Structure 1
Amino acid sequence: MRDTLKVELVTQYLNDLEQFVKDLPAHVNRRAVIPTWEFFVQGHITLEKMTKTLHIQDNAALGETALDLAFLRNYPHHFSTKAFTRHEKMRAIRCKSKCHGKRLLSKLISKFDQEAKYSNMLLHILRKGFEGPFLKSEEIIEPLLRKIMMQAGSWCQSEHLAPYSLLVGPAMSGKTRALHELSNHVCVVYICLRPPTSSGHPPRSALAPTMLPPGMTTSALEKHYNKFLTATFQVVADFFRAQNETISDEKTKLKNWFAYNFSNDLKFEESNQFSRDVLKKMETCSPLKYGQENEQLQKALADMQSQAGFVLLAIDEAHALLSSPNAYLEHATSFFPSFRRSLRETLSDGVFTILTGASSLMLFNTTPDPYKSNPEIKWYPDAQLPLWLSGHKLLDPINQLGTFDAMVSAITQPGTWTDLVSADRLVSYGSPFFAACFRDAIACHQERNLILWTLTELALSKLLGANSDTVIRQERCSGLQAFLTAPQALALLGPTIQPQLSGALHLSGEMILSHAAHCKYVKPDSNLIVGNYPSQFFLASAANTFRQSHEPVIVECIKKLTEILRLGLDSKQVAREIASKIILLRAMHEAVPYSHSLDLGPDISEEHRINLLKNGMVFWNHFNEIHYTPDSEDLLKFLHRGMAAQCASSKQSSFDHLFTIYLKPENSDRLDEEHVTFCGISVKDQITEADLKIRNHEWTDTHSGIRISNKNPYLVLLMSLTTKAPSDHLQRLPKPAGQRRASQVFHGLNEFPCLTRNMVNALTELLNVEPDLPELHSGQQDHCHWKKFVHTSNPLVYRQDDRQ
């Protein structure tokens, strides 16, 4: 058996290699092929070098074939393992010996097995979570239902595109669970269109292939959707007709319906009685003449409404509707316009559709209508309205799903420093998903550290979005940052530094729908969407761990952010705020393993110096914007969440950022507000010694209005980010009244030892996001001409050097 396998692999290798050589461009020097191939197979040259030598660098398919052949030649026993990435294969090929390569591959396989094991564990926990009670149902579900009913009532065919709305929220915010919880109040027809390759929960519904039929024309697709909706409505009507004959209690009917429509134990595309009944109805429907489809749909709708009352059609993972039934065509249209047009024919406020797991293309109505470019079909037979319905509006998306911090309670508040830093407690903040999974895994006697590792990997995958597995593995294997997209870079920064997500419209939509950002406000018709990453320690921890562990990732994130800021207004001020937060986070990361004393200068008394240096404890991993001046009680709450504060400029004139310092007594672990103080950070572009002296009074607890115990010292850091100063420049603020303030002044990015040269260069580019126009022209040929042009085209903006 083993010999047969060897022969098959050798035969496959020789045949594929022969075909590979035949597929090479005709102009390739055939004498160079064999030595180049041998060098590549032996790991002496890279894949890029080999493809360039053989002139196939633009032929990705041939490059992949070459890599697979080289891997087969070196490691035939691992060839059948499909989980290896191209970079993992290349690493193995380039190992200094086959033994080293085999050890590398064995480690990777062990890791794959571990990931599969904990993926199964997570799936088990997810299923368990769906069976548990829904927390704060009255506060979350009842307002959601009122909003849906209001949307259904406001639907008007002459004003809106179709009777549907998007339930918008980040991954793991409980959207799917909320849809299921709504079934306690109304009839919910739930269908999940999860991709076939996904192993998530709930699984892909048995009706997903019916909703996404391949190969259909647009007209056939609309008839198909009309038939599908008609059959679904008939099945709902039949079910409740039978229930109404024997049961009077509405809650019992809805409970029975939910069991009929959805089972928590269903596997991938596994059918249940509901899906079988719908498919049977579709099969038994007789062919109808033109126009009769709509008549039959309205009849089924009226029957369903009379038997079941209000019905909610809930389509989960709805982004699948943006795929195409004819993906091989150059200008193929998606399923979504046809599905939306069929929904439009449901002329009743008794049925409404909710889409979750949608795409930003759905959010802003940018999906093309299939008839727009078809001159033969332009008008509705009745209303004579253009099929594209120019000017028709989308119903506002629903984003008020208040599940954030649902797992936080009075017992979450720490009483001691040990409680404060406990992962068991910190996981409760933010999305309830993490805390619920952690709780259920502990109840299943899973190992704590492995649970946290699994959840951290999951959090990271939700931040990075669709190709997260590729990005994570490529970064950890090769450190290559080129795989990061702009939204992914922003997502890795978002939970920690909170860049505002309200400028670039479609980028904001993508961040919310695909990269775990939260939607605070959305109005598609006004092209307005506001999103952010609220205070969530666990998500920030996942982003920090990945970003700070790979220097190229940090640098690439900064570069991508610079590109985004170049599209915005007042980007220079934003860049300064962001740069300072990146520096502070980097300093925190570097300070953890390499703790050392800070020179606080002579301005602070010896007693306060000892208290600050010996007892001062800092615990935070992300920033959160605040619109008030905090006191010691607020600072203690910041500490509880592990957050630092970014101060809104309209509310705080002294400091841009604040973080809590806790003066922990040596003999006590108990947390006490009396021991709370702060570090205030003020960020400037450039500041002179004269400025420091004139504005010295501003950087005090008194001027800032931050109320703390008057016996506690505090720290002030001043960042002058673009100063180019000599090394003997003033390093501390002038001595204030009193001796409780310690201070440190940083002049320029080179003053921060936590930054590498590449980080300094990237941050410099970020700070220069609005470059100085004369500097852009300096150094060019005919410098005087360009200088004169700048002054002429910008009158009185710059001072003339040669005043008369």
Structure 2
Amino acid sequence: MNEISSRSARPPTVYEKQTQLREGLRRMKESTKFIGQDDLRVFLAIDQASELLASSSSPDLSFLSIFRGALQKIPSHSTGFFSILADINSPLSTFHPTSLYDHPNRRIGKHKPKKLFDPVYQICTFDVHVSDPPRDQHQLQSAFRLLSYGSPFWRAYADEAKRKGLADNEIIQGLTQYALQKLLSTNGQSVPAGSLSDSQVFALLGSTIQPPTLGASHLNSQLISSHGAQCMHIDPSHLKLTSGYPSQFILSSAANQYLASDEARLIRCIQVLASINRQRLFNLGDVGRLVSRIILLRAMQITMQNTPPSPPAADPGPDLITMPFGHSVRLVDFLQTLTGWDQEHFQLGSIDKENKEKLLAEGRVFWNHFISIDHTPSSAGLLRQLYRGLAVTCRHHQPSFDQLFTIYLHSAPTTTAVIDEKRITFGAVCVSNSSDDESVAQASYQWTPAHAGIKLQEHRHPYLVLNFRLHESGPSKASSPRIHPIPRGKASPNQARRRAALAFYGLHAFPCFRAFSLFSAPMFARSLGLFPVSMPMNPQLLSGYTSYFFFLHQNVTYMYNRSYIFLPNHSCLFVACCPLVPDDPRFDQLARYRYCYFFFFALIIISA
């Protein structure tokens, strides 16, 4: 040991230095042979580039400064070198600096900046792994087939895992967990419902129902840099960007699994949406359509939970493995979830018996997220949406419905029957502001494929129309039905006998929303301005309160948007109550009632 220690401490001799130098020069010559090429092109990519911001051995320099200095040594006329820095949490994602750091006076007399590269390049890699369409129901909901759609990375991850010998189930489970980590920007740690940030909520909802984010520039940059969103547009004049979530089934599957596993998570998302809406970031016309997508998604989640796919065999093969919340369901099961009715009690409007039996017996639906389209789809377009497992939301100017989803009429007794465009029909949702039955009958003539411009290859198929009248607070009698079959109206006899149609009055018409905790749906509706806010209080929440409080409840009208309270029995008392903030999502319903009780009691004492 002493000999080795003394030898390592001895400085090298001249001969040893010459030998090391010759070996180093030889290795450098071998590694730099490519420099002699006339057509040399160098592409340098650095991932996790935020590490370059760390300080080097010199306290005054960062690695990024050293790197920039090295790049400046490359001749400006050189066209053979290109470098790109990439990072998921780069501070450079703040595209629009505040005036505090970018005052216009600081730019006076300075030369104009040079535009180096366009901000966005279209690279045709979307759906690059997609090959042949699915042949049957097994292939339709195959997890590995669905990974081929959208970004190419997910299928590349799966193929690499297969080469390493991982089991198919293990691959899908691991990718689903990784997709959730990308959406929530976590490293695998659990995120409780109450800890979900605004950007995490919009990542979960963006990959499922696509709430608009055009007016929220701060959210857009966070979603792109940290939550797996795509940059859809950059406004060069204001240096603002727009984010979006194109159809990516693995992200939608992970988001649905996270939201459906705990009711509090979706309630937290509703609270964030209500808070964002108070900042006027949603257009008035978008609110009802957004709520309708939440209702449909929740109904689909419950239906998939209640009707899981058949358990695979010991060695199922890749076509038989599905993602979480990634299998088709019967239309009749979806309607039972949406209405709470039994199949034998379905009243579907003017549809005749033959078409009703065909629609309910053969209809299947397969989707777990929405995307926005700017055209009216044909049966070929509806078939492509079925391939991707998505539903669509239509623009306001389109001569169509607000939401559309594909219904496949599966007549064969086995799941190996070939999928055919001739078996395609549709389900449609239209959101209305009016609440009277007469307007439903008058408008129903528009709710046909002919009026909407939907061209089906087989025009004799039945179809489904759902009318959501969310501004309606419900009938005065609790026993009155909140779901009504839509009459024929002015629709032609041919259209009316093929149309199954239902009208839903208010949020309480949906059992999947009534199952929420008692404060979530009313608070959401008030915050989004969906219906009058003087809703009846639930006596269960008020158990233990004095009868005097119930008397107050019967004689108090709440005007939440203006934070006023009016007591009809005390005509001289009209109080501005700004501290109450009754629609603040931080207050649950019970806390709000307790606060009202204390406040009213104090008012009565003062007025007495």
TM-score when normalising by structure 2: 0.68
Q: Secondary structure at the match of 1:679?
A: strand
- Residues 179-198 of structure 1 correspond to what in structure 2 (within 5 A)? 186-193=41-48
Q: Secondary structure at the match of 1:742?
A: strand
Task: Kindly provide the amino acid, as one letter, of the partner of residue 681 in structure 1.
Answer: V
- Residues 567-582 of structure 1 correspond to what in structure 2 (within 5 A)? 567-569=279-281, 571-582=283-294
Shift of the alpha carbon at 1:550? Answer: 1.2
Kept in 1, the 8 Å contact 2:404–2:426? The answer is yes
Corresponding position of 1:469 = 188
Unaligned runs of 5+ in 1: 1-183, 196-207, 234-296, 323-358, 373-377, 380-384, 475-479, 789-804
Identity %: 30
Of residues 411, 415, 421, the one that matches 1:665 is 411
Q: Secondary structure at the match of 2:485?
A: coil
Identify if the C-alpha distance between structure 1 residues 536 and 319 changes in structure 2 by more than 3 Å, giving closer, same or farther: closer
Corresponding position of 2:263 = 551
- Residues 352-367 of structure 1 correspond to what in structure 2 (within 5 A)? 359-361=92-94, 363-366=95-98
Identify if the C-alpha distance between structure 1 residues 568 and 392 changes in structure 2 by more than 3 Å, giving closer, same or farther: farther
Corresponding position of 1:446 = 166
Task: Kindly provide the amino acid, as one letter, of the partner of residue 313 in structure 1.
Answer: S
Corresponding position of 2:24 = none
Corresponding position of 1:519 = 231
Task: Kindly provide the amino acid, as one letter, of the partner of residue 364 in structure 1.
Answer: H
Q: Secondary structure at the match of 1:482?
A: helix
Q: Secondary structure at the match of 1:617?
A: strand
Corresponding position of 1:734 = 487
Kept in 1, the 8 Å contact 2:378–2:455? The answer is yes
Corresponding position of 2:61 = 221
Task: Kindly provide the amino acid, as one letter, of the partner of residue 355 in structure 2.
Answer: H
- Residues 633-712 of structure 1 correspond to what in structure 2 (within 5 A)? 633-653=380-400, 655-667=401-413, 669-708=417-456, 709-712=458-461
Task: Kindly provide the amino acid, as one letter, of the partner of residue 671 in structure 1.
Answer: I
Task: Kindly provide the amino acid, as one letter, of the partner of residue 187 in structure 1.
Answer: V
Task: Kindly provide the amino acid, as one letter, of the partner of residue 665 in structure 1.
Answer: S
Kept in 1, the 8 Å contact 2:223–2:229? The answer is yes
Task: Kindly provide the amino acid, as one letter, of the partner of residue 688 in structure 1.
Answer: D
Shift of the alpha carbon at 1:319? Answer: 4.5
Alpha-carbon distance in 2 for matches of 1:732, 1:395: 61
Pairing 1:746–2:504 present: yes
Alpha-carbon distance in 2 for matches of 1:560, 1:319: 23
TM-score when normalising by structure 1: 0.52
Corresponding position of 2:203 = 491
Corresponding position of 2:357 = 610
Residue-by-residue CA offset, 1:350-386 (whole Å, 9 max, x unaligned): xxxxxxxxx432x22459869x9xxxxx99xxxxx77
Alpha-carbon distance in 2 for matches of 1:520, 1:404: 15
Identify if the C-alpha distance between structure 1 residues 185 and 534 changes in structure 2 by more than 3 Å, giving closer, same or farther: farther
Residue-by-residue CA offset, 1:237-267 (whole Å, 9 max, x unaligned): xxxxxxxxxxxxxxxxxxxxxxxxxxxxxxx
Shift of the alpha carbon at 1:745? Answer: 1.5
Of residues 411, 414, 427, the one that matches 2:134 is 414
Kept in 1, the 8 Å contact 2:274–2:528? The answer is no
Identify if the C-alpha distance between structure 1 residues 730 and 590 changes in structure 2 by more than 3 Å, giving closer, same or farther: closer
Corresponding position of 2:468 = 719
Kept in 2, the 8 Å contact 1:500–1:531? The answer is no
Kept in 2, the 8 Å contact 1:733–1:744? The answer is yes
Shift of the alpha carbon at 1:769? Answer: 3.4
Shift of the alpha carbon at 1:546? Answer: 0.7
Which has a greater percent of helix? 1
Residue-by-residue CA offset, 1:118-157 (whole Å, 9 max, x unaligned): xxxxxxxxxxxxxxxxxxxxxxxxxxxxxxxxxxxxxxxx
Alpha-carbon distance in 2 for matches of 1:724, 1:318: 45
Corresponding position of 1:779 = 565
Alpha-carbon distance in 2 for matches of 1:710, 1:601: 19
Alpha-carbon distance in 2 for matches of 1:783, 1:536: 59
Identify if the C-alpha distance between structure 1 residues 663 and 402 changes in structure 2 by more than 3 Å, giving closer, same or farther: same
Corresponding position of 2:154 = 434
- Residues 788-799 of structure 1 correspond to what in structure 2 (within 5 A)? none
Corresponding position of 2:527 = 769
Residue-by-residue CA offset, 1:13-68 (whole Å, 9 max, x unaligned): xxxxxxxxxxxxxxxxxxxxxxxxxxxxxxxxxxxxxxxxxxxxxxxxxxxxxxxx
Kept in 2, the 8 Å contact 1:394–1:524? The answer is no
Corresponding position of 2:553 = none
Shift of the alpha carbon at 1:486? Answer: 0.2
Pairing 1:399–2:143 present: no
Identify if the C-alpha distance between structure 1 residues 705 and 445 changes in structure 2 by more than 3 Å, giving closer, same or farther: same
Q: Secondary structure at the match of 2:242?
A: strand
Of residues 82, 85, 88, the one that matches 1:312 is 82
- Residues 157-556 of structure 1 correspond to what in structure 2 (within 5 A)? 186-193=41-48, 208=51, 211-213=53-55, 220-221=60-61, 228-230=67-69, 232-233=70-71, 300-302=73-75, 309-317=79-87, 319=89, 322=91, 359-361=92-94, 363-366=95-98, 398-411=119-132, 413-465=133-185, 467=186, 469-470=188-189, 473-474=190-191, 480-556=192-268
Shift of the alpha carbon at 1:605? Answer: 1.5
Shift of the alpha carbon at 1:682? Answer: 0.8
Task: Kindly provide the amino acid, as one letter, of the partner of residue 613 in structure 1.
Answer: L
Shift of the alpha carbon at 1:318? Answer: 7.7
Identify if the C-alpha distance between structure 1 residues 319 and 714 changes in structure 2 by more than 3 Å, giving closer, same or farther: closer
Alpha-carbon distance in 1 for matches of 2:263, 2:45: 44
Kept in 1, the 8 Å contact 2:559–2:565? The answer is no
Kept in 2, the 8 Å contact 1:601–1:732? The answer is yes
Alpha-carbon distance in 2 for matches of 1:316, 1:570: 32
Q: Secondary structure at the match of 2:195?
A: coil
Task: Kindly provide the amino acid, as one letter, of the partner of residue 487 in structure 2.
Answer: P
Kept in 2, the 8 Å contact 1:645–1:657? The answer is yes
Q: Secondary structure at the match of 2:429?
A: strand
Shift of the alpha carbon at 1:636? Answer: 0.8
Q: Secondary structure at the match of 2:44?
A: strand
Q: Secondary structure at the match of 1:526?
A: coil
Alpha-carbon distance in 1 for matches of 2:116, 2:194: 38
Identify if the C-alpha distance between structure 1 residues 226 and 402 changes in structure 2 by more than 3 Å, giving closer, same or farther: closer
Identify if the C-alpha distance between structure 1 residues 649 and 634 changes in structure 2 by more than 3 Å, giving closer, same or farther: same
Kept in 1, the 8 Å contact 2:508–2:514? The answer is no
Kept in 2, the 8 Å contact 1:720–1:746? The answer is yes
